[in-house]
Amino acid sequence: MIRIGHVSKTFREKKTEVRALQDVSIHVHKGEIYGIVGFSGAGKSTLIRLVNRLETPDEGTVEVAGRQLDTLKGKELSALRRKIGMVFQQFNLLEGKTVYHNVAVPLILEHRSAAEIEKRVAEVLEFVELSEKRNAYVSQLSGGQKQRVGIARALATSPEILLCDEATSALDPQTTESILKLLKRVNEEMGITILLITHQMQVIQLICDRVAVMEQGRVAEEGAVLDVFGRPKEEVTKRFVRTVINDQVPESFYDTIRAENRHYRLEQLKFIGDSVNEPVIANLCRRKGLEVNIIGANISQMQGSMMSVFILQLIGETEAIGEAEQYIDASGALRQRLFIDWDSRTITEIPAGKGADA
């Protein structure tokens, strides 16, 4: 549906040069919700604006619904933009006008008949559950209601693609969740492909099918949400994942761990979806010569699937622990050995199969 290929873009001010995008490629499939996550300045605003040509790339190609955008001009471009709805962080509504007028505007621009406009506006307002507010002025609405109007406006022209530019970043957590649910409905019930950018990993976790993590104008990592959350490779991705899933050893446990004077290892176990079919931790507890201490546990739901993270302190002889590790690896759980540097109080992760004993 959207194919961005080897795109670069540099903004030049008088003295400074900002390389907003450097050789970025992404492919958004029809019908999916694709999320781009990154800290501010990562280039995601520029990237999303390539899709409706609010920005033009210096290099590379952008293809939307089978059309190369660089050849489009004037009316053709307007026609394409009407097939792409856009929702903004600051809503960008006409504050002094009614909800009805705001949603009607894109249809007025298309010279639709009054009856047609009336019908379509009623439909989309119904969909975003704001029918009773149709004659209210935008300035009287709450942030969440304003964003619903923004979404209704974007849907008015029955687009195939919806672009969301930090659509929930100006909202409180509860409202964010309700707006995300609405976007999920837009995707499922209307079959609209959604490309969103955000700095909130929670947004990716709750509604996205696939995710790209951006850093300094590049895509650091890309893939299905469950994979990226379960096996983050890049440091930036790990930082983002940690904002929603706590896979760290709680600071307050450090002293308890340190006080243990028998031989032990710290292990982090991840169970993703249905990949593990046996009670791994219960079985570990039953192993001879091994004591299991659960230091941390975290279960998160995403995309109808579960991911749980456990941090275990395995206490026992080197051999017993080694056998336990082999058992875990064979079970399908993802294992990483953790080392705590007591001086700096930082943790190093050593993936299964690598590194020596503690």
Partner 1 sequence: MNEFLNSKVFGIKWSRLLTNCQQTLYMVGWGLLIGTFFGLILALVLVLTRKGGVIQGRAARILYAAVNVYVNVIRSVPFVILLVTIMPLTRLIMGTTIGSTAALVPLVLYISPYLARLLENSLLECSPGIIEAAQAMGANIWQIIRYFLMPETLGSMVLALTTGAIGLLGASAMAGYVGGGGVGDLTLTYGYEKMNTPLMILTVVILVIFVQLIQFLGGAISRKLRAHR
Binding site residues, partner 1, CB under 8 A: 52, 54, 74, 77-82, 84, 86, 88, 90, 92-97, 105-106, 108-109, 137-140, 157, 163
- The smaller minimum CB distance to partner 1, of residues 53 and 185, is found at 53
Helix, strand, coil percentages, rounded to 5, for the chain: 40, 30, 30
Distances (CA, A) of 261 to 25, 195, 257, 310: 51, 52, 9, 22
Choose among 65, 158, 88: nearest CA to 119. 158
Query: Hunting for tokens 């471009």 — which residue is that?
Result: 77
- The smaller minimum CB distance to partner 1, of residues 70 and 317, is found at 70
- The smaller minimum CB distance to partner 1, of residues 77 and 320, is found at 77
Q: Give Rg (Cα) of the chain.
A: 25
Q: How far is the CB of 33 from partner 1 (least distance, A)?
A: 19
- The smaller minimum CB distance to partner 1, of residues 52 and 336, is found at 52
* Residues contacting 298, CB < 8 A, separation 6+: 245, 246, 247, 308, 309, 310
Q: How far is the CB of 35 from partner 1 (least distance, A)?
A: 19
- The smaller minimum CB distance to partner 1, of residues 94 and 347, is found at 94
Query: Hunting for tokens 């079919």 — which residue is that?
Result: 277
Q: How far is the CB of 217 from partner 1 (least distance, A)?
A: 21
In whole angstroms, give the CA distance from residue 120 to residue 10: 40
Q: How far is the CB of 80 from partner 1 (least distance, A)?
A: 8
Q: Amino acid letter at 241?
A: V
Sign (positive/negative) of CA torsion 63, 64, 67, 72? Answer: negative
- The smaller minimum CB distance to partner 1, of residues 73 and 262, is found at 73
Q: How far is the CB of 56 from partner 1 (least distance, A)?
A: 11
Q: How far is the CB of 75 from partner 1 (least distance, A)?
A: 8
